[in-house]
Structure 1
Protein backbone atom coordinates (compact mmCIF):
# COMPACT_ATOMS: atom_id res chain seq x y z
CA UNK A 1 0.00 0.00 0.00
CA UNK A 2 2.81 2.38 0.89
CA UNK A 3 4.49 1.79 -2.48
CA UNK A 4 1.20 2.46 -4.27
CA UNK A 5 1.05 5.92 -2.65
CA UNK A 6 4.64 6.61 -3.66
CA UNK A 7 3.92 5.65 -7.27
CA UNK A 8 0.82 7.84 -7.37
CA UNK A 9 2.81 10.73 -5.90
CA UNK A 10 5.53 10.33 -8.52
CA UNK A 11 2.94 10.28 -11.32
CA UNK A 12 1.31 13.43 -9.92
CA UNK A 13 4.68 15.22 -9.86
CA UNK A 14 5.34 14.23 -13.46
CA UNK A 15 1.91 15.44 -14.58
CA UNK A 16 2.28 18.74 -12.76
CA UNK A 17 5.72 19.39 -14.24
CA UNK A 18 4.68 18.42 -17.81
CA UNK A 19 3.41 21.92 -18.79
CA UNK A 20 6.69 23.44 -17.58
CA UNK A 21 8.66 20.97 -19.71
CA UNK A 22 6.45 21.82 -22.71
CA UNK A 23 7.12 25.53 -22.22
CA UNK A 24 10.87 24.92 -21.96
CA UNK A 25 10.96 22.84 -25.13
CA UNK A 26 8.83 25.40 -26.99
CA UNK A 27 11.34 28.11 -26.04
CA UNK A 28 14.22 25.97 -27.32
CA UNK A 29 12.45 25.34 -30.63
CA UNK A 30 11.74 29.06 -30.98
CA UNK A 31 15.45 29.79 -30.62
CA UNK A 32 16.17 27.67 -33.72
CA UNK A 33 13.90 29.79 -35.93
CA UNK A 34 10.90 27.42 -35.87
CA UNK A 35 7.67 29.01 -34.70
CA UNK A 36 6.48 27.66 -31.35
CA UNK A 37 3.27 25.66 -31.16
CA UNK A 38 0.35 27.66 -29.76
CA UNK A 39 -2.44 25.62 -28.30
CA UNK A 40 -4.86 25.90 -25.41
CA UNK A 41 -2.25 24.63 -22.92
CA UNK A 42 0.34 27.27 -23.78
CA UNK A 43 -1.95 30.27 -23.17
CA UNK A 44 -2.90 31.46 -19.68
CA UNK A 45 -6.51 30.65 -18.83
CA UNK A 46 -6.96 33.28 -16.10
CA UNK A 47 -6.11 36.98 -15.97
CA UNK A 48 -2.65 37.68 -14.63
CA UNK A 49 -2.62 39.17 -11.10
CA UNK A 50 -0.34 42.05 -12.14
CA UNK A 51 -2.56 43.33 -14.97
CA UNK A 52 -5.28 45.98 -14.90
CA UNK A 53 -7.95 45.14 -12.32
CA UNK A 54 -10.95 46.80 -10.69
CA UNK A 55 -13.18 45.96 -7.72
CA UNK A 56 -16.22 47.55 -6.06
CA UNK A 57 -16.84 47.24 -2.31
CA UNK A 58 -20.04 45.41 -1.36
CA UNK A 59 -21.20 48.37 0.74
CA UNK A 60 -21.83 51.93 -0.42
CA UNK A 61 -23.06 54.90 1.58
CA UNK A 62 -25.99 57.25 1.04
CA UNK A 63 -27.01 60.37 2.99
CA UNK A 64 -30.50 61.83 3.52
CA UNK A 65 -30.24 63.97 0.40
CA UNK A 66 -29.63 60.94 -1.84
CA UNK A 67 -25.91 61.60 -2.39
CA UNK A 68 -23.99 58.32 -2.64
CA UNK A 69 -20.39 57.25 -2.18
CA UNK A 70 -19.10 54.03 -3.72
CA UNK A 71 -15.63 52.63 -2.94
CA UNK A 72 -13.32 50.03 -4.44
CA UNK A 73 -9.78 49.19 -5.48
CA UNK A 74 -7.92 49.31 -8.77
CA UNK A 75 -4.59 48.39 -10.29
CA UNK A 76 -3.59 50.17 -13.49
CA UNK A 77 -0.44 49.06 -15.27
CA UNK A 78 1.55 51.70 -17.14
CA UNK A 79 2.23 50.87 -20.77
CA UNK A 80 4.62 53.03 -22.80
CA UNK A 81 2.07 53.38 -25.63
CA UNK A 82 -0.59 54.68 -23.24
CA UNK A 83 -0.89 57.81 -21.19
CA UNK A 84 -0.23 57.23 -17.45
CA UNK A 85 -3.69 58.58 -16.70
CA UNK A 86 -6.97 56.68 -16.49
CA UNK A 87 -10.46 57.20 -15.08
CA UNK A 88 -12.88 55.03 -13.14
CA UNK A 89 -16.52 55.56 -14.14
CA UNK A 90 -19.33 54.32 -11.87
CA UNK A 91 -22.97 53.71 -12.79
CA UNK A 92 -25.48 52.89 -10.05
CA UNK A 93 -28.90 51.27 -10.44
CA UNK A 94 -31.57 51.17 -7.75
CA UNK A 95 -35.13 50.31 -8.72
CA UNK A 96 -36.02 52.40 -11.78
CA UNK A 97 -33.16 54.84 -11.15
CA UNK A 98 -30.01 54.22 -13.22
CA UNK A 99 -27.41 56.93 -13.56
CA UNK A 100 -23.70 57.52 -13.83
CA UNK A 101 -22.83 58.94 -10.43
CA UNK A 102 -19.34 60.18 -11.29
CA UNK A 103 -15.74 59.30 -11.91
CA UNK A 104 -12.40 59.14 -10.12
CA UNK A 105 -8.89 59.62 -11.51
CA UNK A 106 -6.55 56.62 -11.59
CA UNK A 107 -2.75 56.53 -11.52
CA UNK A 108 -1.19 53.88 -13.78
CA UNK A 109 1.84 52.79 -11.76
CA UNK A 110 1.12 49.06 -11.33
CA UNK A 111 0.30 49.42 -7.63
CA UNK A 112 -3.07 48.69 -6.02
CA UNK A 113 -4.96 51.83 -4.92
CA UNK A 114 -8.31 52.69 -3.33
CA UNK A 115 -10.84 54.84 -5.18
CA UNK A 116 -14.03 56.61 -4.12
CA UNK A 117 -16.74 58.18 -6.25
CA UNK A 118 -19.16 60.67 -4.69
CA UNK A 119 -22.23 62.06 -6.38
CA UNK A 120 -25.88 61.86 -7.18
CA UNK A 121 -25.90 61.54 -10.94
CA UNK A 122 -29.24 63.36 -10.95
CA UNK A 123 -31.07 60.46 -9.27
CA UNK A 124 -32.36 60.06 -5.74
CA UNK A 125 -30.96 57.01 -3.96
CA UNK A 126 -31.99 55.52 -0.58
CA UNK A 127 -30.54 52.88 1.70
CA UNK A 128 -30.97 49.29 0.51
CA UNK A 129 -29.99 47.03 -2.36
CA UNK A 130 -28.43 48.56 -5.49
CA UNK A 131 -26.40 47.42 -8.50
CA UNK A 132 -23.03 49.00 -9.24
CA UNK A 133 -21.11 48.95 -12.51
CA UNK A 134 -17.54 50.27 -12.60
CA UNK A 135 -15.25 50.67 -15.59
CA UNK A 136 -11.60 51.75 -15.83
CA UNK A 137 -10.81 53.67 -19.01
CA UNK A 138 -7.29 54.41 -20.30
CA UNK A 139 -6.49 57.11 -22.81
CA UNK A 140 -4.09 55.74 -25.41
CA UNK A 141 -1.54 57.56 -27.52
CA UNK A 142 -1.61 54.97 -30.28
CA UNK A 143 -0.75 57.37 -33.10
CA UNK A 144 -4.23 58.86 -33.29
CA UNK A 145 -4.65 62.60 -33.60
CA UNK A 146 -6.90 62.54 -30.53
CA UNK A 147 -6.17 59.94 -27.79
CA UNK A 148 -9.11 57.54 -27.79
CA UNK A 149 -10.44 56.04 -24.54
CA UNK A 150 -10.61 52.28 -24.15
CA UNK A 151 -11.97 50.12 -21.35
CA UNK A 152 -9.25 48.02 -19.74
CA UNK A 153 -11.12 46.62 -16.71
CA UNK A 154 -14.72 46.48 -15.56
CA UNK A 155 -16.81 44.88 -12.86
CA UNK A 156 -20.44 44.83 -11.81
CA UNK A 157 -22.39 43.31 -8.93
CA UNK A 158 -25.00 43.94 -6.27
CA UNK A 159 -24.11 46.23 -3.38
CA UNK A 160 -25.90 47.52 -0.30
CA UNK A 161 -26.32 51.23 0.29
CA UNK A 162 -26.34 52.08 3.99
CA UNK A 163 -27.28 55.37 5.61
CA UNK A 164 -24.50 57.59 6.89
CA UNK A 165 -21.36 58.61 5.06
CA UNK A 166 -18.12 56.89 5.97
Structure 2
Protein backbone atom coordinates (compact mmCIF):
# COMPACT_ATOMS: atom_id res chain seq x y z
CA UNK A 1 0.00 0.00 0.00
CA UNK A 2 1.42 3.44 -0.88
CA UNK A 3 2.50 5.52 2.10
CA UNK A 4 0.46 8.64 1.15
CA UNK A 5 -3.01 7.07 1.77
CA UNK A 6 -1.73 5.60 5.04
CA UNK A 7 -0.53 9.03 6.18
CA UNK A 8 -3.81 10.66 5.12
CA UNK A 9 -5.73 8.04 7.06
CA UNK A 10 -3.41 8.70 10.00
CA UNK A 11 -4.53 12.34 10.13
CA UNK A 12 -8.15 11.24 10.39
CA UNK A 13 -7.22 8.56 12.92
CA UNK A 14 -5.26 11.09 14.97
CA UNK A 15 -8.27 13.41 14.99
CA UNK A 16 -10.37 10.51 16.29
CA UNK A 17 -7.76 9.58 18.92
CA UNK A 18 -7.59 13.22 20.06
CA UNK A 19 -11.37 13.43 20.26
CA UNK A 20 -11.89 10.16 22.11
CA UNK A 21 -8.85 9.76 24.32
CA UNK A 22 -8.15 11.05 27.74
CA UNK A 23 -5.31 13.58 27.96
CA UNK A 24 -1.95 11.87 27.63
CA UNK A 25 1.07 12.58 29.74
CA UNK A 26 4.22 12.72 27.69
CA UNK A 27 7.14 10.55 28.70
CA UNK A 28 10.04 12.51 30.20
CA UNK A 29 11.75 14.32 27.34
CA UNK A 30 9.03 13.69 24.74
CA UNK A 31 7.87 16.98 23.29
CA UNK A 32 5.60 18.35 20.56
CA UNK A 33 5.08 21.96 19.47
CA UNK A 34 2.84 23.68 16.92
CA UNK A 35 3.92 26.83 15.07
CA UNK A 36 1.68 29.88 15.49
CA UNK A 37 0.91 30.03 11.74
CA UNK A 38 -0.72 27.43 9.48
CA UNK A 39 -1.08 27.83 5.70
CA UNK A 40 -4.21 27.58 3.55
CA UNK A 41 -3.97 27.19 -0.25
CA UNK A 42 -6.71 28.17 -2.70
CA UNK A 43 -7.55 24.48 -3.27
CA UNK A 44 -8.23 23.94 0.45
CA UNK A 45 -4.85 22.39 1.31
CA UNK A 46 -3.89 23.12 4.91
CA UNK A 47 -0.30 22.79 6.12
CA UNK A 48 0.68 22.74 9.81
CA UNK A 49 4.21 23.00 11.18
CA UNK A 50 6.03 22.39 14.46
CA UNK A 51 8.76 20.44 16.23
CA UNK A 52 8.88 17.13 18.07
CA UNK A 53 11.21 14.95 20.09
CA UNK A 54 10.64 11.39 21.26
CA UNK A 55 12.63 8.44 22.54
CA UNK A 56 12.50 4.66 22.17
CA UNK A 57 9.64 3.83 19.82
CA UNK A 58 9.15 0.10 19.37
CA UNK A 59 6.73 0.63 16.47
CA UNK A 60 6.28 3.23 13.73
CA UNK A 61 5.64 6.76 15.01
CA UNK A 62 3.84 9.67 13.36
CA UNK A 63 2.83 13.27 14.00
CA UNK A 64 -0.76 13.90 13.00
CA UNK A 65 -2.85 17.02 13.37
CA UNK A 66 -6.42 18.23 13.20
CA UNK A 67 -7.66 21.77 12.64
CA UNK A 68 -10.94 23.47 13.48
CA UNK A 69 -12.35 26.94 13.16
CA UNK A 70 -15.18 28.65 15.06
CA UNK A 71 -18.13 28.52 14.99
CA UNK A 72 -17.89 24.95 13.64
CA UNK A 73 -17.00 22.17 16.05
CA UNK A 74 -15.84 20.04 13.10
CA UNK A 75 -12.21 18.93 13.25
CA UNK A 76 -10.43 18.15 10.01
CA UNK A 77 -7.63 15.58 10.08
CA UNK A 78 -4.61 17.00 8.27
CA UNK A 79 -2.25 14.34 6.97
CA UNK A 80 0.44 12.68 8.98
CA UNK A 81 4.23 12.76 9.07
CA UNK A 82 6.53 9.89 9.94
CA UNK A 83 8.48 10.60 13.14
CA UNK A 84 11.97 9.44 14.10
CA UNK A 85 12.22 8.71 17.83
CA UNK A 86 15.95 9.15 18.34
CA UNK A 87 15.94 11.75 21.13
CA UNK A 88 16.78 14.63 18.76
CA UNK A 89 14.52 17.57 17.97
CA UNK A 90 12.98 17.42 14.48
CA UNK A 91 10.76 19.74 12.42
CA UNK A 92 7.45 18.33 11.23
CA UNK A 93 4.85 19.49 8.77
CA UNK A 94 1.78 17.83 7.41
CA UNK A 95 -0.68 18.76 4.70
CA UNK A 96 -4.18 17.71 3.79
CA UNK A 97 -7.00 19.04 1.68
CA UNK A 98 -10.21 20.19 3.30
CA UNK A 99 -13.34 20.59 1.19
CA UNK A 100 -13.28 24.06 -0.37
CA UNK A 101 -14.68 26.93 1.67
CA UNK A 102 -14.76 24.95 4.93
CA UNK A 103 -11.83 26.93 6.32
CA UNK A 104 -10.99 30.58 5.80
CA UNK A 105 -7.96 32.72 6.66
CA UNK A 106 -8.03 33.84 10.28
CA UNK A 107 -8.02 32.31 13.75
CA UNK A 108 -8.08 28.51 14.01
CA UNK A 109 -7.28 25.78 16.53
CA UNK A 110 -4.75 23.01 15.82
CA UNK A 111 -4.47 19.82 17.84
CA UNK A 112 -1.49 17.57 17.19
CA UNK A 113 -0.31 14.26 18.57
CA UNK A 114 2.91 12.29 18.38
CA UNK A 115 1.55 8.75 18.11
CA UNK A 116 3.40 5.45 18.06
CA UNK A 117 1.71 2.30 16.78
CA UNK A 118 2.82 -0.32 19.31
CA UNK A 119 2.20 -3.99 18.67
CA UNK A 120 -0.15 -5.55 21.24
CA UNK A 121 -1.27 -9.16 20.74
CA UNK A 122 -0.64 -8.77 17.01
CA UNK A 123 -2.57 -5.51 16.68
CA UNK A 124 -0.99 -2.05 16.29
CA UNK A 125 -2.48 0.11 19.06
CA UNK A 126 -1.85 3.86 19.38
CA UNK A 127 0.39 5.12 22.15
CA UNK A 128 0.54 8.91 22.49
CA UNK A 129 4.05 10.14 23.24
CA UNK A 130 2.97 13.80 23.36
CA UNK A 131 0.05 16.00 22.35
CA UNK A 132 -0.44 19.73 22.07
CA UNK A 133 -3.21 22.20 21.23
CA UNK A 134 -2.70 25.75 20.06
CA UNK A 135 -4.61 28.69 18.67
CA UNK A 136 -3.02 29.57 15.32
CA UNK A 137 -3.52 32.02 12.49
CA UNK A 138 -4.49 30.40 9.22
CA UNK A 139 -2.90 32.46 6.42
CA UNK A 140 -3.37 32.26 2.67
CA UNK A 141 -0.57 30.69 0.68
The TM-score with structure 2 as length reference comes to 0.72
Select the structure that is richer in strand.
Answer: 2
Aligned to 1:43: none
Q: 1:64 to 1:122 in 2, by over 3 A?
A: closer
Q: Does residue 159 in structure 1 map to residue 136 in structure 2?
A: yes
Q: Which runs of 4+ in 1 moved over 3 A?
A: none
Q: Does 1:126 align with 2:119?
A: no
TM-score using structure 1 length: 0.62
Greater relative contact order, per chain length (Cα 8 Å cut-off, separation 6+): 2
Q: Answer yes or no: is the 8 Å Cα contact 1:99–1:122 preserved in 2.
A: no
Q: 1:163 to 1:121 in 2, by over 3 A?
A: closer
- Does the aligned pair in 2 maintain the 1:86–1:138 contact within 8 Å? yes
Match of 2:31 in 1: 53
Aligned residues: 113
Cα–Cα, structure 1 residues 148 and 106, in superposed 2: closer, same or farther, change >3 Å?
same
- Which residue of the partner structure matches residue 113 of structure 1? 90
